């Protein structure tokens, strides 16, 4: 009897131990081979896999190919682009979360784009925010999931590979996913009048095809995160505008927190670097350092 032929595919959804794998134009529901569990390998959305079987639309994941990167909350692998969404209004932007997401993407070797949604509600504010973050070295767009403004630009970026949506609750992630995929079966929640936050509407991680042929990870629970695996001494290297200043600091090991002769603090005092940007850097630095200290 000949060796069973394996088919290569990508995991597009995962729920309760079942995996939908897209392989050769088909979507096949699979279980993972027991030996993978013994090896400590758990397939996740975005994984490239080899599967066997597929009779009656049922298959078995035999191997999981090496991942180039991975997010852990939610669990998604092989991400090319993190689409970070903030609303220009309702809810008010959470800039600390934005900077954490940018840092996470850089640390994991992923490109990111910052999208200020609801540009139709406050176009001047959106333009100012885009200019501010572009100056800081972050690719930024002003978009409206409702009117379609800026969506074509975002589709072109996503079509380079697989993208993941990230951002605080209520910013329009589900509606944006609808606009990018042309699907209307993605539930959209309303922003609560009481607290200005959106009801959580996305229930499971899945990869969706965009209208231009890319893939979009529609992910729940990506409105909060910790930066556990970042060393506080390496944090500054994840800020493009800080990297250029580091050689001007008195000490090579400057963390830009309290050392004398810090070029970053001088740039903040002179207005070259915004105070709010530096304050968020300090908050993140302290959070990362506290995490490190709690391990010992």
Q: Where are the domains of the chain?
A: 7-64, 70-218, 232-294
Compute the average pLDDT of residues 84-111.
Answer: 89
Averaged pLDDT of the chain: 86
The highest-confidence range among 131-140, 146-155, 237-246, 285-294, by mean pLDDT, is 146-155
The pLDDT value given to residue 254: 93
The superfamily in CATH containing domain 232-294 is Probable gtpase engc; domain 3 (1.10.40.50)
Q: How confident is the model at residue 42 (pLDDT cuts 50, 70, 90)?
A: very high
The CATH number assigned to the domain with range 7-64 reads 2.40.50.140
Any idea which of 12-16, 169-173, 233-237 has the lowest mean pLDDT?
Answer: 169-173
The CATH number assigned to the domain with range 70-218 reads 3.40.50.300
Predicted model pTM: 0.84
The pLDDT value given to residue 9: 96
CA distances in angstroms from 253 to 45, 204, 229, 256, 281, listed in the order given: 39, 43, 19, 9, 16
Answer whether residue 193 shows pLDDT above 50.
no
Compute the average pLDDT of residues 188-195.
Answer: 43
């Amino acid at each position: 009897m000949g060796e069973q032929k394996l088919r290569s595919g990508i995991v597009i959804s995962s729920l309760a131990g079942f995996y939908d794998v897209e392989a050769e134009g088909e979507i096949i529901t699979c279980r993972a081979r027991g030996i993978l569990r013994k090896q400590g390998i758990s397939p996740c959305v975005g994984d490239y896999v080899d599967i066997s079987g597929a009779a009656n639309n049922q298959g078995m994941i035999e191997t999981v190919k090496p991942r180039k990167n991975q997010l852990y909350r939610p669990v998604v692998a092989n991400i090319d682009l993190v689409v970070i969404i903030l609303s220009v209004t309702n809810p008010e932007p959470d800039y600390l979360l934005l900077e954490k997401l940018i840092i996470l993407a850089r640390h994991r070797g992923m490109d990111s784009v910052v999208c200020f949604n609801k540009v139709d509600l406050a176009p001047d504010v959106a333009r100012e925010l885009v200019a501010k973050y572009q100056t800081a070295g972050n690719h930024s767009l002003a978009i409206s999931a409702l009117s379609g403004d800026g969506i074509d630009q975002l589709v072109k970026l996503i079509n380079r590979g697989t993208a993941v949506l990230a951002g605080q609750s209520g910013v329009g992630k589900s509606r944006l996913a609808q606009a990018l995929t042309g699907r209307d079966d993605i539930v959209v929640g309303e922003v609560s009048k009481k607290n200005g936050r959106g009801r959580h509407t996305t229930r499971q991680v899945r990869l969706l095809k965009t209208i231009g042929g890319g893939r979009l990870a529609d992910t729940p629970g990506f409105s909060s995160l910790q930066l556990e695996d970042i060393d506080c001494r390496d944090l500054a290297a994840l800020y493009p505008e800080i990297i250029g200043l580091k050689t001007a600091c008195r000490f090579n090991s400057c963390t830009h927190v309290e050392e004398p002769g810090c070029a970053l603090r001088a740039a903040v005092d002179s207005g070259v670097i915004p105070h709010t940007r530096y304050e968020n850097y300090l908050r993140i630095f302290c959070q990362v350092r506290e995490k490190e200290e709690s391990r010992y």
